[in-house]
Amino acid sequence: MTHPLIARLETDLHWPRLDSMEAVAAFAGAPGAHCLFIPGDPVRNLETADAAVILPELAAAFQGAFDCAIVDDAIEAELREAHRALKTPGFLFFRAGQFLGDIQKIRDWDDYLARTAHILSLTDA
């Protein structure tokens, strides 16, 4: 069962749930910047629920500079390993299919703002 705060991202904010590496490639390869939310296990990791609240606020703070999607459990491990983002929850940023960087675990708000601004300023990894 999906945690209610993660389900809200799909139902209220209409974020897509990516359940294959092909779906990730299509989403991340679209024009613009993108953030993939890797929730992790909300039962084992209490930070997952916090991240599900933080990411929409972060996206709003950057006024649409990036869109977001949720990574499904089925491909989470493969995606984390592919980008060396081994800790959850995690936010992975892409532009035009290129991995830019990630933010792992829960951080202070100012740290999110600074890291996101830096990541979005990159042209590629």
Task: Give residue-wise pLDDT tens across range 92-116.
Answer: 999 999 999 999 999 999 999 999 9
In this prediction, the residues of the chain whose per-residue pLDDT falls under 50 are 125
The amino acid occupying position 99 is F
Q: Which of 89-125 are b and which e, b meaning 16 or more Cβ less than 10 Å from the residue's Cβ?
A: bbbbbbbeeebbbbbbeeeeeeebeebbeebbeeeee
What's the pLDDT at 2?
84
Quote the pLDDT of residue 124. Answer: 55
Tokens of 119: 């990541």
The CATH number given to 4-121 is 3.40.30.10
Percent of the chain with pLDDT over 70: 98
How far does the chain reach from its first CA to its final CA, in angstroms? 35
The whole model's pTM is what?
Answer: 0.94
